[in-house]
Amino acid sequence: MRYTKLNASLDATSRLRSLQQRTGLTPNLLCRIAAMMSLEEGPVGTIRAPDDKGKEFNSYTLTGELTGVFGAMVRFVEEDEGRGEPLANDELLLRFAAHIHRGVGLLSVRAKSPADVVRLAIAA
């Protein structure tokens, strides 16, 4: 997965602000956690984030040296077990953004404090 910038949805951006105040974690860390939570839930398929008008993240800030790992995880969850063509980079990015959007929604319900984030990490 290759990208230089990725925009979160407006809804996710609003929830990230609230999560940052409650947990003290930065939006990029919250997005990483959110993406992992969403990937655990399974594929998003053709479901998209509602918009891309929210906070902009550059690739180094959002995934850093783990960009390849996140790309591989999205590919693993989203591709149909080797049947058919591999997903193109643009499609992988759309699905990664959808996972962030879905994951931020999940995280905003489950994380009310820093301790909740630790509990989520231990449970995983």
Tokens of 53: 């008008």
Residuewise pLDDT in 10s, the chain (124 residues): 999 999 999 999 999 999 999 999 999 999 999 999 999 999 999 999 999 999 999 999 999 999 999 999 999 999 976 666 889 999 999 999 999 999 999 999 999 998 998 888 787 6
The model scores a pTM over 0.85: yes
CA contacts within 13 A on the Cβ side of 101:
22
**Is 58 in a helix, a strand, or coil?**
strand
Taking the chain, what is the end-to-end CA distance rounded to the nearest angstrom?
A: 24
